[in-house]
Every structure is written in C-alpha cells, then in structure tokens.
Amino acid sequence: MAGPDIEALIRQLSKLPGLGPRSARRAVLVLIKKKESLMLPLIQLLQQAADSVKICGTCGNFDSQNPCSLCLDPKRDRSTICVVEDVADLWALERSAAFRGIYHVTGGLLSPLDGVGPDDLNIAELAHRSEAKEVTEIILALSATVDGQSTAHYLAERLDGIDVTISGLAHGVPLGGELDYLDEGTLSAALKARRPV
Amino acid sequence: MAVEWTNLGLVLSVRKHGEHDIILHALTEHHGHHAGLVKGGNSRKHKGLYQPGNRLHMRWRARLPDHLGAFVCEPDRMFAAEALHDRGLLLSLTALCATAETVLPEREVHALAYRQACHLLETIGTDGWGADYVLWEMHLLNELGFGLDLESCASTGESEDLIYVSPKSGRAVSRAAGIPYKKQLLDLPPFLTAEDHGRPTQEDVAAGLELTGYFLERYVFAQHRQTLPDARVRLQTMLAG
C-alpha cells in the first residue's frame, strides 16, 4: 500500500508504548502531510536528544548534563534521598512539587521471575550515597505491588546499619476517593495505616 | 465447542504479554497449576488484582483444552495487600508463590497443596505463621512424593527423643543413635514430631526451614536445574537471625 520507507517508519513507531500499527500509521500520515512544520523539527529534536541526553551518574535521572540539573541544584535539600523505580516516577514527584530533596533511580524492581537481581539495579550507588554525612533520611517511594514492596524491604535490609531514617510512602485512600469504589486491597492497606485524627 | 471452567485460584505469577496483557499462572483447587492470558491485566486499573498471593474467582475459557486460554477474574481475597507492610509476611508470600509455581506441574490437580496454601495465607501474620510455613513445605514435599518419615528412628525404631533427620533417607534419627553422626545430620525441630512441645520458637522455625529447604532443593528444585527462590532464602536468613 505505502512505500517501503513509509512502512519501515510505521513499523518503528508502532514499537513505542501506547502506539499500535493503526495509530503509528496515523502519526506517520500526519508527519508526512506536515513535513515542514512537524517532521523536520521532530527529526532535529530527536537527533539533538540522542546526542545530548545522558544518564546522571549520581542519581540515574535523564538530563543533558552529568550530574543532572537536580543533583547540581544548590537549593535542593541534600539530607533526604527519595528512591524511585524509574525516571517516570521521578518526573511524577517533581510535577507534584511536594518534594525538595534529591533522588535516586533504581532502574527497576527486584523480580526473580524476570531474572532481575540486586546486581542489575542501581543499589550499590544508593548505599554509597546514603553513607554521606549530610544524609539523614531515605524515602522508599516504590510502587505498592509485591515486587515494589519486596524491593523496598530488601533496600531497608541492605541500608540497615547506616545511620539514616528509612521511610516508605503511605498506602491507602486516594484524594477524592470514595470507599465504596475502592478495591479490598487498598481498603485493607488504608485500615492498617490508619492514624489518629 | 469451547472449554470453560470456574474455580477459586491463587495468583502465583504474572508475566507481561505485549503492552496491556499478562500471562497469569494460578494455583486452583480443581485444575491445579494453570496458566492463561488475561486481556488488559497489565492496565493500571487491574494491576493490583493480579498481584502474587491474591485469591481470585477465575473463569478460564479456551477453544480447545490444550490451548493457553484466557482468564477472566474477580477478587475474592487480596492476600498481597495484607502482607505488603511486613518483610517476613511478604517474603513468605512470595516464597510460597515462587515455590508452588516452580515445583507443581501444570494442569495436574493438587487440591491439598491449594487448600494448605490458602490456609497458610489466611493465617499469615497470626502467631505461629512461621511454623505453618514450614508445615506447608512439608505437605508440599509429601504431595510431590518426597515426604519425610518423622514417625520413628531410622536406626533404632524408637519413636521418642527424635532430634535429627538423615539427609539421605529423609527419616528421623533419635538422639542416642544420631549423636556420633550429628555433623552429617539435619536438626529436627520438636514441632515437626508427633510429641507435643508447645509453641515453636524462632530457632525451631529456622531449623524447620533449613530441613525442608534441603530436601526441596535437593529433590525438587534440582530436577528443574534451579535453586531455592531468592525470597525463600531470605526468609530463612531472616528467621535464622
């Protein structure tokens, strides 16, 4: 139907999360139709990102500089390190503007079934960073799944003996959540984490 | 004609299949260890449901019995959420799921293993769950044909003062017969013998885990060219203090 170049582009785009062959086809069509205003700037930006984006050697964030701008920011509170699974989680916390400390990205969760062990994650660097004098708290902001919490318990075990407070995120009723619509697991976790009012 | 069944089942593991779907491995009472596709199982809305350890109402449907088939599930009891907050509980839950997934053959009915796993998950976190975990592994060994004989001494036939287990035969050994060979023998915690010794201590549970772990690793996991699951090893290390 379309030429081999277009088909190759569709195949490549359809590998992106959220895009299947149909949506990739639509995206390619728009890119071809808007070559000057969309396709060429996109090519330029992709090339620029491919050349400049690096993984921060300190926290594991993506940035065009190493160490990243968050690690270099003097206004950040260096006494608290927030441990997240992925850069997407770091971005989510940054969007909330609720945390002003520094981050550490593990790059995944422990998962014996998928063959992901402690050596495959950025854990040794976390232990090294936690030993710094100014660090007083490590917040384990990992997902409320069996793998997420297994990793959190493993990290707590691994950091045991270092003079820092280790805390985890609360699990429970989301803002605006109605009890009637919550699943049993969330309700059970919320009841366990109840606090005096 | 399509094949279909419904049963309660424990989630043993999930693996991503494409972007939104998962392959679910479950332990059911009437259909044993069974796998199936779950459409949309990896979505944000449903991810919590398919956590290892959760008990779900499962409906499995396939065009032919040999096909992978697809599950449609609804929650029954979310054991995973109940264990997330505690390291020991989470380790035992993940160890149970990983062990059952590896050692129980697919589509072979093991109703007793299912019922005992449910009993363990229902009592997890209460007093004595560590000993219950050891008993679950003992039952599992039995179910797989590698049951230990802890009724009487392999050497003298005595049924009292049994404190060792022979790593070769899996039979109990009494104190008198075992002392000269105690370095080669495994410790037998009192709560695994017929005699009533009250509530097991943490050391008893650790000794029990070492005992069942030895036989599981040597006779079951070795057949699959695997070692004990990481969670199982960490549970034993934690209880050994």
Quote the mean pLDDT of chain A: 93
Q: How far is residue A95's CA from residue B77's CA, in Å, rounded to a whole number?
A: 34
Q: How far is residue B179's CA from residue B131's CA, in Å, rounded to a whole number?
A: 25
- Chain A residues lying within 8 Å of B87, measured CB to CB: 153, 156-157
Pairing of β A165-168 and β A54-55 = unpaired
Question: Taking the domain B3-77, which CATH number applies?
Answer: 2.40.50.140
Report pLDDT digits (tens) over B153-171: 988 888 888 999 999 999 9
- Which pLDDT score, from 0 to 100, does residue B196 have? 63
Confidence grade of residue A140 (pLDDT, cut at 50, 70, 90): very high
Q: Is the pLDDT of residue A108 over 80?
A: yes
CB contact under 8 A, B78 and A184: yes
Report how many Cβ contacts below 8 Å link chain A to chain B: 69
CA-based nearest residue in chain A for residue B93 = A146
φ, ψ dihedrals at B86, nearest 5°: -120, 130
Cα angle B100, B106, B107; round to 5: 120
Decide yes or no: CATH 3.40.50.300 for domain A62-196: no
Confidence grade of residue B216 (pLDDT, cut at 50, 70, 90): very high
Closest CA relative to residue A71, chosen from A104, A107, A106: A104
Closest CA relative to residue A107, chosen from A153, A62, A49: A62
Q: Is the pLDDT of residue A112 over 80?
A: no
The reply to whether A4-52 and A62-196 are identical in fold is no
- Chain A residues lying within 8 Å of B226, measured CB to CB: none
Question: Taking the domain A4-52, which CATH number applies?
Answer: 1.10.8.420
Is the pTM of the predicted complex or chain greater than 0.95? Answer: no
- Which pLDDT score, from 0 to 100, does residue B194 have? 74
All structural domains of chain A with their residue ranges: 4-52, 62-196
- Chain A residues lying within 8 Å of B78, measured CB to CB: 183-185, 188
Mean pLDDT of A104-119: 87
- Which pLDDT score, from 0 to 100, does residue B199 have? 82
CB contact under 8 A, A146 and B48: no
Q: What is the ipTM of this complex?
A: 0.85
Residue B156 tokens read as 């003298």
- Which pLDDT score, from 0 to 100, does residue B82 have? 87
Selected for mutation to probe chain B from A13, A89, A142, A149 (highest B CB count within 10 Å) is A149
Which range has the worst mean pLDDT, A159-173, A181-195, B78-92?
A181-195
Query: How close does chain B come to A189, measured CA to CA in Å?
Result: 6
Residue A132 tokens read as 């710094």
Q: Is the pLDDT of residue A107 over 80?
A: yes
Cβ neighbours of B218 (radius 10 Å)? 14
Q: Is the pLDDT of residue B144 over 90?
A: yes
Query: How close does chain A come to B6, measured CA to CA in Å?
Result: 21
Distance, C-alpha A107 to centroid of its chain = 8
